Amino acid sequence: MASPTLSFQQALERTRELLGNSNERIIIGIVGKPGAGKSTLSTFLIDNLPISDVSLISMDGYHLSNRQLANLGRSNRKGAPDTFDSFGFAALLKRVKGSTDDVYFPIFHREIEESIAAEGLVSARTRLVITEGNYLLHSEGGWESVASMLTESWYVDVNDELRLERLVDRHHFFGKERQAAYDWAHGTDENNAQLVEAARDQADFIVLNSDR
């Protein structure tokens, strides 16, 4: 059976409903292809919720460093499932789910293509954690335990032509030549997108990004 769909506004209403019906910490996993609008949805939710209630964890903070990728011979596939510390990310979510203390986590910076350790914070009072990434529903390589940490999973769906245009623009903005940006978006990113799409039907909801 196909997962039910939500607009951005309905996703916000769903978030408020979850918060209103639970005294436990809520973890919403936002998944989607590269360039689908995961960060756009996360920002929309955060901008419309009490700032003290919510924290955002991006899977991207668990990118392997450029040095490790070079050592492993995976630099040309950065962004693929095996170019992240998947076990570390799963362990973070397990800690976030069960902890009543402050929890720190790394944040990835596109301008330097590296993560900075312990830059992010889920405070002890945080009621809602939004986590976003490509592989939250992936079933191999250490990712398979992530889904069980999520209260709900939401798959962001968007027109693929628009998504690829955004990806090329993003890669170009962060330093790639235009042709290199196009090649990466239609090559490495698109290979990863197919893996993400394979898990689409496992999501609790499909969030439509058609008007953004």
Question: Do residues 28 and 129 make contact, with C-beta atoms less than 8 angstroms apart?
Answer: yes
Query: Given this model, what pLDDT does residue 211 score?
Result: 52
Query: Given this model, what pLDDT does residue 9 score?
Result: 97
pTM of the model: 0.93
User: 158-169 pLDDT, tens per residue?
Assistant: 999 989 998 899
Query: Given this model, what pLDDT does residue 162 score?
Result: 87
- List 56's β-bridge partners, or say none: 130
Q: With 80 as the cut, is the pLDDT of residue 175 above it?
A: yes
Q: With 70 as the cut, is the pLDDT of residue 32 above it?
A: yes
Instruction: Give the integer Cα–Cα distance in Å for 173 and 165.
Output: 12
What's the alpha-carbon Rg for the chain, to the nearest Å? Answer: 17
Closest to 123 in 3D by CA, of 95, 150, 101? 101
Q: Which domains does the chain have, with CATH numbers?
A: 8-159 (3.40.50.300)
Q: With 60 as the cut, is the pLDDT of residue 36 above it?
A: yes
